[in-house]
Amino acid sequence: MSSIKKFAGQAIFYGLGSIISKVIWLLLITVYLTRLLGEDGQIEYGIYTALYSYMTVLIVLFSMKLDTALFRYGNIKERFQESYNTIATIVLLSAILVLFIVFIFGDQIAVLIQFPGEGRYVRWFGFILAFDILSLIAFAKLRLENKAKQFALFKIGNALLLSLLSIFFLAIYPRLSTGILNWLPKFDAVIDYLFLVNLFVSGFFLCILLLYTKGFKFKISTQLVKKIFPYILPLVIVGIANNFIQYFGVPLIQFLESGSVEENIETSGVYEASRKIAGFFALFIGAFNYAAEPFFFNNSTEKDKEKLYGKICNLYVLVGGAFCLGLVLYLDIAKLAVDAAYRESLFIVPILLMAYLILGIYHNISIWYKLSDKTLYGAYISLIGALVMFGITFKYIGVIGYGACAWATLTTYIIMVVLAYVLGQKKYPIKYPVGKITTSLVIITLLLYVAYYNYSNLSGIMMYAVNTVIFLIYLTYVYVMEKEEWHKMLSRRSS
C-alpha cells in the first residue's frame, strides 16, 4: 500500500473519531443550546464559551505536549514502554496539581476571570481538565500504535454518551417533579448541567481507556526526562500561543470591548456561535493532524519523505478548500445551526474558514522543527503570532467590533506560515509545490468572496443553482490537479 493511501486511510478513521464525535457535540450545543437559551440567555452562553476557551489553553499547559513527546521518544519499539511509563507518570502528577489548585484557589480564579461567585465552575472544570489530560496520553498511545479504529470508537462513544446525557438533563430532567431521580440536584442555570455531564463522561471514559490501554507503571526515567523537557517546553509555548490565537477571541472580546461586563459576555457568545460554524472545518484540520503527526514521525527516515510531505500539503489544501467552499456556498443552510439571535456575526465565517485553511498549511510545513528537534523555533513563531493576534484585536476591536478578532486570526496565520516556511527552508529543507498551493489558495479566496456575495445578494433556487455550479467547478479543478493521486488512493491495488 502506498504511503499516501495509508495516510488517507488513517485520516479517515481519525476523521470518523474526531469529526463525527465533535460534530455530534457541536450540533447539540450550537443548535439546541442557542435555541434553549435564546436572546435572554446570551450571558449564560457567553460564560459557557469563555470557560471552554480557557480550557483550550490550560489543557496544553498541564499536559505539557507530552503526547508529542511520546511520538518522538516512543516510536521505537525498544524504547516505548520506558517512554510511556515516564510520560504517563508526569501527566498523572500534573493532574493531581490541577485538582490541588482549583480546590484551594477556585473562588479567587473565578473573580480573576470576571465570574465572581462561580467558584464551583472552576472546580468542576478542574476535574474535567485533570481527566482530559490523562485521557490525552491514552489516546496518544492508541495513535502511536496505529489503532485508528479503536480511537474512533472511543471518541464517538464519548460524544454519544455526552450528548444523550446532556439532552436528558436539559430537556427532560428539569420537568420531572417526582421519581427515583429526585435525589439529584436541580440548578437554575442550564450550563450547570452541561458542565456536570461533561465531568462525569470525561471520568467514565478515562476509566475505560485506562482499562483498555493497560501497561502503565508509575515509574520515571531521569535520563529520559532530561531529554523530554528541553524538547517539549518550546512546544508548550507553541500550543498555548496557538490555542490563544484560535480560541481566545471570546475572552479578548470579554475584556477589550467597550461595553459593560455583561454586554461583552453577550457579544462574545454571539461571536463564538458563528465561530463554531467555521469550527466544523477546524474539526477536519484536527482529524488531519491526528493522522499526520505520528505519520510524519514514522516516515521521517524514508528516502522520499520530502516529496511525500509536499504532496500531502497540496492535497490538504485542495480537500480543505472544498470543505470551506461547501460551508460558505450553503451558509443559508449552515446558519440554521445557531438560533436567529446569534446570526448577526455570520460575516466572520468566511474569514475564519480561510484562516483555518491557512492554519492547516502551517501544521504541515512547521513539522520540520519537530522532526529536527529545533522546537524553540516553533515557540518563537507562535509567540510572534500571539502578539500579532493580540495587537490587531486590541487596536481595531474598538473600530470594527468583534470582527477584528476574525481578521486578526487570518492575518496571524498568514504571517506564521511565511515565517515557518522561510525558516524551514534554511534549517530543514522540504520541497513543497509552492506554485500549486498558491494557485489553489487564490482560487479558493476568490470563490469564497463570490460565495458570500451570493449569500448576501441572492436567494432561493437561483442562489442554490449558482452555488452548486461553483462547487462543481471547484471539484473539477481538484480532480484535474491531482488526477493520478486520486486514482491511486481509490484503486484497490496500490501502484
Task: Identify which of 427, 69, 46 has the alpha carbon closest to the alpha carbon of residue 268.
Answer: 46
Q: Give one word for 219, left, alpha or beta, with left for phi > 0 and alpha for psi -120 to 50.
A: beta
Which position has the grid cell 457579544?
Answer: 267
Percent above pLDDT 70 for the chain: 89
Residue 171's Cβ-count burial label (10 Å; 0-12, 13-18, 19+) is exposed
Q: Which helix (H) or strand (E) holds 178?
A: none
More reliable by pLDDT, 400 or 181: 400
Rounded to an integer, what distance in angstroms lies between the CA atom of residue 206 and that of residue 39?
36
230 against 175, higher pLDDT: 230
Task: State how far the Cα of 176 lies from the Cα of 181, in Å rounded to an integer.
Answer: 8
With cut-offs at 50, 70 and 90, classify the pLDDT of residue 434: very high
| pLDDT, tens only, 68-99 | 888 888 877 777 788 888 999 999 999 999 99
From the number of C-beta atoms within 10 Å of its C-beta (0-12, 13-18, 19+), residue 460 rates as: exposed
Which pLDDT does position 8 carry in this prediction?
59
Res. 454 pLDDT band, cuts 50 70 90:
confident
How buried is residue 80: exposed, middle or buried, by Cβ count under 10 Å (0-12/13-18/19+)?
middle
Q: Please report the DSSP string for 269-313 in residue order.
A: HHHHHHHHHHHHHHHHHHHHHHHHHHHHHHTTT-TTHHHHHHHHH
Residue among 405, 402, 415, 403 nearest 361 (CA): 415
Least confident range from 25-29, 32-36, 249-253, 270-274: namely: 25-29
For residue 362, give the C-alpha cell: 502551517
71 Cβ contact list (under 8 Å, min separation 6)? 140, 143, 144, 293, 294, 297
- What distance in Å separates the CA atoms of residue 50 and residue 114, rounded to the nearest whole number? 10
Q: What is the mean pLDDT of the chain?
A: 85
For residues 264 and 258, give the distance between their C-alpha atoms in angstroms, rounded to a whole number.
8
The reported pLDDT for the residue numbered 447 is: 93
Q: What band does 10 get if pLDDT is binned at 50, 70 and 90?
A: low
Contacts of 418 (CB under 8 A, 6+ apart): none
Which three cell numbers mark 428?
530543514
Residue-level pLDDT at 403: 94
pLDDT in tens, 114-143: 888 889 999 999 999 999 999 999 888 888
d(CA 174, CA 187): 9
Contact in structure between 131 and 201 (CB atoms under 8 Å): no
Which residues have C-beta within 8 Å of that of residue 212, sequence separation ≥ 6?
A: 138, 150, 154
Within 10 A of 485 (CB to CB), how many other CB atoms are there? 17
**DSSP for 180-197, written as a single string:** TTTTS---SSHHHHHHHH
| Residue 419 CB partners (closer than 8 Å, separation 6+) | 381, 384
Are 292 and 308 in contact by the 8 Å Cβ rule? The answer is no
C-alpha neighbours within 13 Å on the C-beta side of residue 22 = 17
Q: Which of 100-104, 151-155, 368-372 has the highest mean pLDDT?
A: 100-104
Q: Retrieve residue 24's grid coordinates.
A: 455530534
The single-letter code of the amino acid at 314 is: N
pTM, two decimals, is 0.81
Q: 325-342: per-residue pLDDT in tens?
A: 999 999 988 888 888 888
Q: Above 70 in pLDDT, residue 14?
A: no
- Which pLDDT value is given to residue 304? 65
pLDDT in tens, 261-317: 888 888 988 998 899 889 888 877 877 776 676 677 766 666 666 677 888 888 899
Question: What does the pLDDT read at residue 493?
Answer: 44
Query: In angstroms, what is the C-alpha Rg of the chain?
Result: 23
Contact 83, 227 (CB under 8 A): no
Residue 181 or residue 327, greater confidence: 327
| Residues 237-264, mean pLDDT to the nearest whole number | 88
Question: Could you tell me which residue, 308 or 348, shows the higher pLDDT?
Answer: 348
**What totals of helices (H) and strands (E) does the chain contain, helices first?**
21, 0
Confidence of residue 374 (pLDDT cuts 50, 70, 90): confident
Domain limits of the chain? 3-490
Closest CA to 67 of 255, 359, 297: 297
Instruction: Give the separation between CA 361 and CA 438, rounded to whole angstroms.
Output: 11
Q: Exposed e or buried b for every residue in 61-78, given b needs 16+ CB within 10 A?
A: bbbbbbbbbbbbbbeeee
